């Protein structure tokens, strides 16, 4: 039977959508799911649930100020969301306007940044910016934090720091790897103190992560492309962890997608960079990841499909029902889950 996106729908009371981060990053709750058991924990208790000798793999991408408001040269209002920086002053972007800008047209964004529409590349607009010093510097100066559509307030000063992990290093994401938002410096020290190792990779999360699945049959869904990089140090750390019988714990679905995209066989990983369109659905055989730390995901999303493939669809349905009944906070600024991989 074809897999249907309707199987990944659920009702979520709006009041459970977290609109702001908690005061402390580690102040969130953690639902530990192991077999048929659900344990309601504080996130600060996570190190006690990870065995010494395990390797936790984090995504160190850095969210850029990718949202820009302005006007077309015709006078119409326009909103630009950078999807991917292509070169010093060019990018692919989503553009919202009453009428799509034509090739050769110009926009003035945030009252100072000029952009020219060069053409279309699939769903994206190819834009060239007048930006001395490079587009990244210009965005950092005039851009806005691109909060997800289910967060109803405009980005403020707290979002600039809190919609960013404490280990963010490599700029390029337009959405945060939200499972990593729960960790602060003290949490990282607690992991090390328990003998839990850490490693990093980069996957630049695109705006496509918020796009709904528009087809019923999941086999017909075309996954958005995202750039990732696996350092040689991370590849070596995974091999060493495997050699000693330790578990690989992915922090976030973005880490899962990068690791599984770079897999060359069970427990085998290639270092290097590339683009991935990997869509993980039930029946996928995981090659690298043993355990997963993740937030609660949007209904009918590719991320909910991924975690269902990882932990088992029925288990995830029951876990989500438990989380809703228990008042967990959902989505980017919400609470977290710790999942074991379902048996193959």
Domain that holds residue 135: 67-144
Same domain as 73, residue 58:
no
Same domain as 169, residue 35:
yes
The three-class DSSP label of residue 317 is helix
Same domain as 167, residue 137:
no
Query: Which of left, alpha, beta for 111 (phi over 0: left; psi -120 to 50: alpha)?
Result: left
- The interaxial angle of helices 313-325 and 302-311, nearest 10 deg, is 110
The domain tally of the chain equals 2
Question: Average pLDDT of 248-255?
Answer: 98
- Beta-bridge partner residues of 106: 116
Same domain as 195, residue 277:
yes
Helices (H) and strands (E) in the chain, counts: 7, 19
Question: Average pLDDT of 253-278?
Answer: 96
- Burial (Cβ within 10 Å: 0-12, 13-18, ≥19) of residue 119: exposed
CA 43, CA 71: separation in Å to the nearest integer? 44
CA 179, CA 166: separation in Å to the nearest integer? 12
Same domain as 117, residue 166:
no
pLDDT for 140 = 96
pLDDT tens-place string over residues 138-186: 999 999 999 999 999 999 999 999 999 999 999 999 999 999 999 999 9
Domain contains 151: no
Pick from 91, 113, 144: which residue ends a domain? 144
User: Are residues 234 and 42 in contact, defined by beta-carbon separation less than 8 angstroms?
Assistant: no
**Over 80: is that where the pLDDT of 255 sits?**
yes
Rg (CA), the chain: 20
Same domain as 179, residue 45:
yes
Same domain as 221, residue 105:
no
Same domain as 283, residue 165:
yes
CA 281, CA 279: separation in Å to the nearest integer? 6
Contacts of 256 (CB under 8 A, 6+ apart): 250, 280, 289, 292, 306, 310
pLDDT tens-place string over residues 64-121: 999 999 999 989 999 999 999 999 999 999 999 998 889 999 999 999 999 999 999 8
């Amino acid at each position: 039977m074809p897999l249907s996106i309707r199987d990944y729908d659920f009702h979520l009371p709006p009041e459970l959508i977290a609109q702001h981060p908690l005061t402390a990053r580690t102040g969130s709750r953690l639902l530990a799911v192991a077999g048929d058991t659900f344990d309601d924990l504080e996130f600060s208790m996570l190190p006690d649930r990870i065995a010494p000798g395990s390797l936790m793999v984090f995504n160190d991408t850095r969210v850029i100020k990718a949202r820009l408001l302005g006007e077309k040269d015709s006078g119409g209002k326009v909103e630009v969301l950078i999807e991917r920086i292509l070169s010093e002053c060019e990018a692919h972007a989503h553009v919202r306007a009453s009428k799509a800008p034509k090739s050769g047209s110009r926009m003035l964004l945030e009252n100072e940044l000029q952009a020219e529409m060069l053409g279309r590349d699939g769903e994206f607009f190819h834009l060239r910016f007048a930006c001395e010093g490079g587009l990244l510097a210009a965005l950092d100066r005039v851009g806005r934090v691109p909060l997800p559509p289910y967060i109803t307030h405009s980005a403020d000063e707290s979002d600039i720091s809190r919609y960013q992990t404490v280990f963010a290093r490599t700029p390029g994401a337009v959405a945060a790897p939200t499972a990593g938002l729960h960790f602060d410096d003290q949490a990282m020290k607690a992991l090390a103190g328990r003998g839990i190792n850490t490693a990093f990779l980069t996957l630049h999360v695109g705006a496509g992560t918020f796009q709904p699945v528009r087809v019923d049959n999941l086999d017909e869904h075309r996954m958005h492309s995202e750039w990732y990089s696996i350092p040689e140090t991370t590849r070596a750390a995974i091999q060493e962890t495997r050699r000693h019988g330790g578990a690989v714990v992915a922090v976030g679905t973005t880490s899962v997608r990068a690791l599984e995209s770079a897999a060359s066989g069970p427990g085998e990983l290639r270092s290097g960079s590339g683009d991935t369109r990997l869509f993980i659905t039930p029946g996928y055989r995981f090659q690298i990841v043993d355990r997963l730390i993740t937030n609660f995901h949007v209904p009918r999303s590719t991320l909910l499909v991924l975690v269902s493939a990882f932990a088992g669809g029925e288990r995830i349905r029951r876990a989500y029902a438990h989380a809703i009944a228990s008042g967990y906070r959902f989505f980017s600024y919400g609470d977290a889950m710790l999942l074991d991989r379902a048996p193959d």
